[in-house]
Amino acid sequence: MSYYKEKIIGLQVPNWKGKHFIPISSLHLLLQDQVQQIIEGAVQNGGIPVYQKEEAIQAVVRGGYRILGILILMEKVPMLTKFVGADGLIDKSLDSGLPYTENELEHILGDNYREFFDHQWSFSAPIFERSLLHRNLHKRTVLPFTTMTPIGDGGFANVFRVTVPGSHQRIEGRNVTTIQVVRKELKPSPTLNQDFDNEHHIISLLRIIKHPNIVLFHSAFTIDGVPSLLFEPAECNLKDFLRQDHFAVTPGQGMLDAFFGLSSGLREIHNYNFKDGNLRFIGCHYDLHPGNVLVKDGNFILSDFGISRLKHEAQGSRSEFKAATGVCEFDRERATKSIFGTLKTLHDNGEPNEKVKKWLRRLQDHGPANEAVDGLIDLVRDMLAIQQCDRPEILEVSERLFHIAERMRYARISKAFVSLFLHSDTAMRIERDRIEIWADEVGLDNTRRREERLAWFLTLRLDVLFERIHALLQGIEENILDLPETQKQKAYSSEYYTVRKNVDELWQLLSAETVGRMTRRLETLILGYEDTQEPHIDLKDLASYPRPQLLLGIKQALSALEEHQSQTSENLIRQSLLKDRREWNNKLLIRTEVPSQETSFAIVEFLRYDDHWLDRSDKLILRISNLISLWTTMNLQDSFPVLQCRWFCHFPERQAYGLVLPIPHALVPGDDLQVTTLAEMIKSTAKRLKRPNLDEIFMLAFNLATTLASFHKAHWLHKGISADNVLFFPKGMDALGKSVSSARLVGFSDGRESAEGAFTVGPSEDELLKLYRHPEYRRDAGNVRYREEFDYYSLGMLLLELGRWKLIRTMVKQDQLETLSAEALRGRLLEKEVSQLGSLMGVLYQNAVTSCLEGPHMGEGEQKKWQVWNKFETEVIQPLSRCKAICPGSGFLFGRWTSGNRSDRS
């Protein structure tokens, strides 16, 4: 036994006071393979009955190594059974009772208790972990701090950097030899316990929100009446950091990031919100100065909450200014003499310190031209306002610091993209456009008013947002700068994919509505590439962007129609393949039996040829054939709510070509084709209870608008928008109002490409379509070429019908319809019908309809197409998007119908 006694004595480690403790890991390593031998020795010596051997061994193995070690030093191992017998049949380890009180030991050991009591302290050194519960330690507890170096001495506490053996902590795991922590030991005072309870309460509340810019609190304990707090260590405080030689006046990116992080931490104190516990407080640090701001890994971290307070939200939080410190030169410049001596304050007897104001002017006037410096100086001036009501709140401070920091980073990214742009292909240029759109949306382009940027900022959790944006923008910058010259022409490098992934995530930080708006802007930019001097775009470069790829493909194909000479017409089929014909609304309902194709229901629309097409029949067939081939190849109906044309067929008896539009099986799952138009649905569901839900009407309106805008960007004009060209496929004619999700747009037979030289034949003679035509086009169709805003007018008439749930032809008496001019009809509808939309559909919807009907009043060529598209986006699509519930899993989301529960939000 003396062998193990000597080994245990040799394990003792002195702490900073010279008191010895035995690291639990060392003791365990010594005894873990020797327990059975030690207990068997006690059995052989007659100290432990043989029938108690196994229980004694198991008691040590389950957690009794410390007790066994103490008894080895006492040379009284058989007393182990007394501790087992005193466990009260409670499933706990023997060591969990340490340290025992004298009364407890006297009850267990009798006269031998005093020796055990004295030995136990070297075996009972605490194991520190991250815990919010305060521990009271016995005054004889040996703290396992091998070093304790003073690093601060304040009026309320002494601060030390402490070394803790790895086995006596569970803060950073057990695979470390030692760790460093900071010990804050409060000084004796009349309010010691109250001060400690307050700070412990505040730092515990702050720890559960886990903010990276608030010092990390580990644990709290009191020993011999002195409370202590353990914290994560830092490199230095801000006061010392600002006095280091490397510090420069001009703020770099790291400095700006650090100040934003600091403001984010302060915001959590000012507006404390712990959602899981339903806790809301407002607070104040009360002692914020550079000495209480720590610096670690480039971050500024709030610390020292000794006089801080968190009060319930209703109590309010007001504070006056306190003296602060700064860099050495600034200290000297702002020194002010008073009856209390020389003070270094930011204010002077209730007024701004003139020396501080002079210092700020000198920085701005004589320092290097720097947008970040100017922004910071303006912010400092605002924060130093005398009146509390004139000073910005912490949210605005954070927003402005964020904008300054991330604008500097974004400016470098933009500069890097300019260089890369000279070498890269379309794919990388698209990423440039995407990040520019994102930056414009969040205000990093510096053109938005502060109030607009702040409104966006309010919707996000600042610390999470900042960390994510910081990492994503940093990753984009690094990958662009590190891209080798040999790879700058290869868009599909790993660097490109990293850039694209990061830009994707930046977009995902924003709302679905905002992303939809940004996506439409991106489409406009991509489709504008070929209107510039840029080289032809390969569609494979757009593989990650199916909608722009699709639209650009349409645009390129239409542009090539006049040049391309098709040798065959594979899509031209015989009439004999069209079975079970049924006339319906100037169309045919049929069943197709095309060889090698699955039989399906279809609709046939007619493109009639007349004298206008004399000597142009080849061009007509070429247009139809190539257009159908394009639509078939690109599978439009997967991206837009349209019935796409698959084949065409000559109907000489009708002097027309029939465009065959197969109906997807999902819309007609059985053998009974049920189809109706929006006009028929409105007439059949006049009673309110039979109508579709309001959110579905909003959804349909938004969907039609975005689809029209998309085709315009592809340089295709519809020319036939009306309630008769919006089809539905109900499961039964008694369920019309529930079939809105099956809506499909048709009527493309009269459409054409919007290029200047595209052949056009003017308006069709369909009387129903006349009501939807723009007054200018009806008045002077022979001299005015059809253009985008004429489609927008037709859409406005259709949206009016949706909003009023009445057809145009029922809003005005029949005799008046025949006599009113198109201009007079528009005026009457605006005055009598559109004016009622506000109360029925809301002002946003009403304004969208008004914009469509009143139009931009632009003649041909007066504005570029993208300006027309943007105006439609701003005045129609965006208001409609806010009128309806667009969310994942509900309704139509960015060009695709999705399943899910309908939202009640309107």
Annotated binding site for ATP: 184
Instruction: Give CA–CA dist 499/427, Å, rounded.
Output: 11
Task: Return the DSSP state at 834.
Answer: G
- Main-chain dihedrals φ then ψ at residue 533, nearest 5 degrees: -90, 10
Beta strands in 460-574 (DSSP E): 572-573
- How does strand 647-651 pair with strand 572-573? parallel
How many helices (DSSP H) and strands (DSSP E) are in the chain? 34, 31
3-state SS assignment for residue 731: coil
Cis peptide before 856 (omega within 30 of 0): no
Say which DSSP state 764 is in.
Answer: -
3-state SS, 622-647, equals HHHHHHHHHHHHHCHHHCCCECCCCE
Q: Known binding site: residues?
A: 184
Q: Which residues contact 830 (CB under 8 A, 6 or more apart)?
A: 850, 853, 854
Q: At what angle do helices 788-804 and 865-872 cross, to 10 degrees?
A: 10
The closest alpha carbon to 233, from 190, 199, 182, 192, belongs to: 182
Cα gap 184→303, rounded to integer Å: 11
Query: Position 248: which residue type?
Result: A
CA nearest to 773, candidates 789, 759, 758: 789
β-pair partners for 587: 584
CA dihedral 419, 424, 425, 431 (to 10 degrees): -60
Angstrom distance (rounded) from CA 727 to CA 309: 65
Distance of CA 479 to the CA centre of its chain: 22
- What the block records as the tokens of 686 is 């006049």
Phi, psi torsion values for 386, nearest 5 degrees: -65, -50
Degrees, nearest 5: CA angle 748-750-751: 65
Cα separation, 472 vs 466, whole angstroms: 10
Strand, helix or coil at 540?
A: helix
Q: For strands 226-231 and 272-274, give the pairing.
A: unpaired
- What is the distance between the alpha carbons of residues 770 and 786, in angstroms, rounded to a whole number? 14
Tell me the β-bridge partners of 281.
Answer: 272, 312
Q: Is 589 helix (H, G, I), strand (E, B) or coil?
A: strand
Rounded to the nearest 5°, which phi and psi values hold at 272? -70, 130
**Please, where are the H alpha helices in 277-353?**
328-333
Phi, psi of 295 (to 5 degrees): -120, 125
Coil, helix or strand at residue 562: coil
Instruction: Decide: 692 and 738 in contact? Cβ < 8 Å.
Output: yes
Residue 578 to residue 593: CA distance in whole angstroms: 6
Cα gap 157→169, rounded to integer Å: 24
Task: Find, among 30, 121, 124, 45, the residue nearest to 79 by Cα.
Answer: 45
Handedness of CA 558, 560, 561, 562 (dihedral sign): positive
Alpha carbons within 13 angstroms on the beta-carbon side of residue 41 total 13
Give the phi and the psi of residue 229 in degrees, each rounded to 5: -125, 140
Q: Quick check: helix, strand or coil at residue 282?
A: strand
Q: Count CB-CB contacts under 10 A for residue 595.
A: 6
Identify whether the C-beta of residue 421 lies closer than 8 Å to the C-beta of residue 491.
Answer: no
